[in-house]
Structure formats: structure tokens, C-alpha cells
């Protein structure tokens, strides 16, 4: 008897599942369609082939939403899917104590590998969002990028961008005639916004972070990348901008892959309402386009927020997998949000969704996932499994130990300015050492010591 040859492990798993289903008298087609899946609860399985249909995890503080995010991340990692998620409160970091391989990222370079991005990579639209600019001021940023590209000027750091703005101001009449009106007032507003941004967070420094490094696996498990965002969230526009840039960069670079048995990457955006607060129409349209099309590139996006109403309807309509934790009705507005949340779920005649949303215990949720036929199933009351990792935050010692042992952990990168200072100190040190035997040697020693401090 010849043995059946399989093209992939997923195909063999589906075949074995179908044989077991036939033995139990079930439909073999259903078993094959189920394929790889994640069990979130005894009555809730997230099918890998439909995990790129995106999702929404909603619920009030204390309803169990964070634990669900950890369970999701562990589940995806277990089936070989890399995961990126932001740790706003510090309690997601407990994933490092579980079976999933974890890497920590930090825009400040203190709690993980530095996450840096160049001004050019950020792009004018996303940068304008981070700076909180008006439409008129954003148009000047567009002109600055176009001018820098035409003149081949660097746009890596805030310093580079300020120099470009200075050139715009110095040659504004000629530039206004070719690229568009440049107002000194707008340039002044942008400069002040850059000053506020640089004092809040220093992410615009080389070398830039490559989002492709998120697409990693170790020993068959998906790499879980955790962005330490407890400090970053204090500047909400920058927080939203960093997340949007990561997703946008991957969207522009990843090829089309069609339908897969599981996603290539899953993004989980906590406090996702910040992506849409005060979002300019043009940028909102860009977000909608990315969410609509990125699924064909094998990327699933999951939004975590308190109320489903926080997500624009044009985006919410594309979220096929939904997990609704409890909401509390303290005001009339809260009661309306509960009714709206219940109406957004596929109806189950056997359940009073609105009543359950208002009364569910922590850890319970109304779950509607995409079924074997590719359509959302009616919502079911489920108790989400707890993850195997530690619940809650980890200590600084645990984080430091994990970061030091993580493969590819690197020291804080040195900016071009600090590198230039270090080189100058070294040259001064050796030059001083050659002047006079004793005095020069002393100058050389202090020059080398200054270089060492600047570099490290």
C-alpha cells in the first residue's frame, strides 16, 4: 500500500483530523476545513485559516481583556505565528515566563531593544500625525519631504528635518513657486512641535528598526515581540504613530500570499482607540485601506479597546473575529454602548447579549469567531482559558535577565552625533599624547576616557 504524500505539516494534520472525524461519524469536510486552530475556550476555537480576517477584543478595565490578549499571543505562538503587541500597563510582559519565545522592544531603549525609525521611513502623513499638525501645516511637511528628495538631503533624525525646514525658510519664495506655498508661521509651528516631540521621546535616531525582524520563529514557535509602552503611552499621538508606522511599513513591503493555513504575523493593538482619535481623514482612509488589504499578505490585525464604539464603522466592519468582555453601565451613555456592543455581535436567539455584557464575570466573554464556512458564528458565552505564563507584570530583574539572554540582544545604538563626538575625543587624545610626554599623555588619557563614556 502506498503512503499518501503531504505538501505540508498543516495538510497532514487536517488529513488526520478528517480520519478521526469519520471514525466518530462526523463530516470529513468540516474536519479538513477546521485545520489548525487555537482553543480560546471549550466552546470557542479560532481557526488559523481565518485568523487573518482580523478581530476585536473589547471590555471594561478588570473584565479579563489583558488575560485574553496573553492567551491569544500564546496560542498564535504555539502554532508558529509571530505576534506583535504593545504592553501599555506592563502586565503583558508576563508572557516572557511562559513557553513562547519573547523579545522586548522599547522606544527609549531601557526595557528592551531600541525601536528607532528615521524621519524618512516615517513618511510625511504619519509624522504630521505625531506632531499634531493641521492640514495647512501638514502640507508644508509634504513640501519638506519633496524638497529633501529633490535635493538628496538626509532625513534620518529630527536634526536633519530641522535643517531642511531651515532651507525651506531661506528659499521659501523659489520653493513656493515650484512646490507650493511655504509659510514662515507654519514652519515655526512645526519647529515647536519638533521640540516637544524630541523632549518627549527619542525614536528618530539611526540605526532604524527593521519591522521585518518581527517575522521570526524559534524552535517552531512564533516570536512574540512586546513593545514596552508604559512610558510611550504618555504621548498618545506618538504611541499611535509608532504602531501605525510598523503596520504600514510591513504592508508596503510584504508580498501577496493569498489564503494560508495560518497568518504570517498577527498585530495586537492595545488601547487601539488612540489610532483613531483626532485622526485626519486622509490618514484614516490609509488605515482603512491597510486593514482591508493586509489580510491578503497574511497579516491579521486585532484591536483591543474598551468599547466597540471606539473603532470607526468602516474598520469595525472588517473585523470578523470578536471577543466581547463585560462593560459596566454606570450612566445612560454606558447603557447605550452596551446595547450597541450587543447589536454588533452575530445574534444568538438563545442569549440576551445586552444583559450578559452588563453582568458577565471577569474572564467570561461573548465570543463570535469565523466558522468552517468562512462566516461569523452566532455569539456564545465562553470562559476564556488562562495562559500558561505568569499573570501580571514581571520584575525589573526578570526583564533584565530575559533581555540579556535573548538571542540578538544588542546594546543601545550610538547616534551619528555621539559617534562624531567620540571620534573627535579619540583624535584629540592621541594628538595630545604626541605633543608632550607627560602633559600630552594626560590629555590623551582624558580624551580616551571621554570617548569611552560617549560610546558606552
The full DSSP string for 38-78 is: EEEETTEEEEGGGGGG-EEEE--TTSSHHHHHHHHHHHHHH
Which pLDDT band, with edges at 50, 70 and 90, does 324 fall under?
very high
pLDDT at 4: 44
Mean pLDDT, residues 357-371: 94
pLDDT at 229: 87
102-106/113-114 β-pairing: parallel
Contacts 24+ apart (CB under 8 A), 214-219: 214/82, 214/84, 214/246, 214/250, 214/265, 215/82, 215/264, 215/265, 216/82, 217/80, 217/82, 217/101, 218/101, 218/407, 219/101
102-106/44-47 β-pairing: unpaired
pLDDT at 240: 85
Residue 227 has pLDDT above 80, yes or no: yes
Which pLDDT band, with edges at 50, 70 and 90, does 331 fall under?
confident
pLDDT at 339: 93
Please say whether the beta carbons of 42 and 268 come within 8 A: no
Residue 383 has pLDDT above 90, yes or no: yes
Q: CA 230, CA 332: separation in Å to the nearest integer?
A: 31
Q: Which residues contact 110 (CB under 8 A, 6 or more apart)?
A: 228
pLDDT digits (tens, 9 = 90+) for 150-185: 999 998 888 899 999 999 999 888 888 888 888 899
* Sign of the alpha-carbon torsion through 121, 124, 129, 130: positive
In the three-class reduction of DSSP (H, G, I as helix; E, B as strand; rest coil), residue 289 is classed as helix
Does residue 201 or residue 390 have the better pLDDT?
A: 390
**Whole-model pTM above 0.95?**
no
Three-point CA angle 101, 106, 112, nearest 5° = 50
Residue 299 has pLDDT above 80, yes or no: yes
Please say whether the beta carbons of 197 and 158 come within 8 A: yes
Mean pLDDT, residues 430-446: 42
In the three-class reduction of DSSP (H, G, I as helix; E, B as strand; rest coil), residue 105 is classed as strand
Cell numbers 519638506: residue: 144
- The mean-pLDDT minimum among 43-52, 114-123, 217-226 falls in 114-123
- Judged by phi (left if over 0) then psi (alpha if -120 to 50, else beta), residue 150 lies in alpha
Q: At what angle do helices 124-131 and 135-151 cross, to 10 degrees?
A: 140
37-41/44-47 β-pairing: antiparallel
Mean pLDDT in the chain? Answer: 80
Q: Which residues contact 16 (CB under 8 A, 6 or more apart)?
A: none
Q: What is the DSSP letter of 351?
A: -
Residue 11 has pLDDT above 60, yes or no: no
Q: CA 1, CA 5: separation in Å to the nearest integer?
A: 13
Which pLDDT band, with edges at 50, 70 and 90, does 320 fall under?
very high
Does residue 53 or residue 429 have the better pLDDT?
A: 53
Does residue 35 or residue 430 have the better pLDDT?
A: 35
pLDDT at 421: 45
pLDDT at 200: 66
Amino acid at each position: 500500500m502506498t503512503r499518501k504524500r503531504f505538501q505540508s505539516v498543516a495538510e497532514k494534520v487536517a488529513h488526520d483530523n478528517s480520519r478521526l472525524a469519520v471514525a466518530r461519524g462526523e463530516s470529513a469536510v468540516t474536519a479538513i476545513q477546521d485545520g489548525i486552530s487555537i482553543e480560546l475556550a471549550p466552546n470557542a476555537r479560532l481557526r488559523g485559516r481565518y485568523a487573518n480576517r482580523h478581530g476585536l477584543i473589547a471590555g471594561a478595565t478588570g473584565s479579563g481583556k489583558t488575560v485574553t490578549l496573553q492567551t491569544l499571543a500564546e496560542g498564535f505562538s504555539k502554532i508558529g505565528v509571530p505576534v506583535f503587541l504593545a504592553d501599555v500597563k506592563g502586565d503583558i510582559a508576563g508572557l516572557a515566563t511562559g513557553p513562547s519565545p519573547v523579545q522586548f522592544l522599547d522606544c527609549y531603549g531601557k526595557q528592551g531593544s531600541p525601536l528607532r525609525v528615521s524621519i524618512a521611513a516615517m513618511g510625511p502623513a504619519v509624522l504630521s500625525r505625531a506632531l499634531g499638525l493641521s492640514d495647512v501645516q501638514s502640507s508644508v511637511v509634504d513640501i519638506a519631504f519633496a524638497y529633501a528628495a529633490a535635493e538628496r538631503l538626509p532625513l534620518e533624525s529630527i536634526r536633519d528635518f530641522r535643517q531642511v525646514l531651515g532651507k525651506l525658510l531661506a528659499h521659501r519664495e523659489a520653493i513656493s513657486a515650484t512646490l507650493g506655498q511655504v509659510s514662515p508661521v507654519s514652519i515655526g509651528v512645526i519647529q515647536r512641535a519638533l521640540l516637544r516631540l524630541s523632549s518627549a521621546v527619542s525614536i528618530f535616531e539611526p540605526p532604524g528598526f527593521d519591522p521585518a525582524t518581527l517575522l521570526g520563529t524559534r524552535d517552531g514557535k512564533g516570536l512574540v515581540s512586546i513593545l514596552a509602552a508604559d512610558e510611550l503611552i504618555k504621548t498618545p499621538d506618538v504611541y499611535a504613530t509608532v504602531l501605525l508606522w510598523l503596520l504600514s511599513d510591513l504592508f508596503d513591503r510584504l508580498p501577496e500570499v493569498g489564503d494560508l493555513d495560518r497568518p504570517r504575523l498577527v498585530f495586537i493593538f492595545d488601547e487601539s482607540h488612540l489610532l483613531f482619535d483626532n485622526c485626519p481623514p486622509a490618514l484614516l482612509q490609509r488605515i482603512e485601506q491597510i486593514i482591508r488589504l493586509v489580510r491578503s499578505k497574511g497579516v491579521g490585525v486585532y484591536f483591543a479597546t474598551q468599547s466597540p464604539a471606539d473603532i470607526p464603522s468602516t474598520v469595525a466592519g472588517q473585523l470578523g473575529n470578536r471577543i466581547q468582555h463585560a462593560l459596566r453601565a454606570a450612566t445612560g451613555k454606558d447603557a447605550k454602548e452596551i446595547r450597541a456592543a450587543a447589536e454588533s455581535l452575530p445574534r444568538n436567539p438563545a442569549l440576551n447579549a445586552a444583559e450578559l455584557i452588563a453582568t458577565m464575570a471577569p474572564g467570561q466573554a461573548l465570543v463570535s469567531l469565523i466558522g468552517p464556512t468562512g462566516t461569523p458564528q452566532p455569539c456564545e458565552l465562553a470562559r476564556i482559558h488562562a495562559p500558561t505564563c505568569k499573570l501580571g507584570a514581571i520584575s525589573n530583574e526578570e526583564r533584565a535577565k530575559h533581555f540579556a539572554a535573548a538571542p540578538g540582544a544588542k546594546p543601545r545604538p550610538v547616534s551619528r552625533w555621539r559617534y562624531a563626538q567620540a571620534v573627535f575625543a579619540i583624535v584629540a587624545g592621541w594628538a595630545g599624547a604626541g605633543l608632550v610626554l607627560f602633559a600630552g599623555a594626560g590629555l590623551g588619557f582624558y580624551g580616551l576616557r571621554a570617548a569611552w563614556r560617549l560610546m558606552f
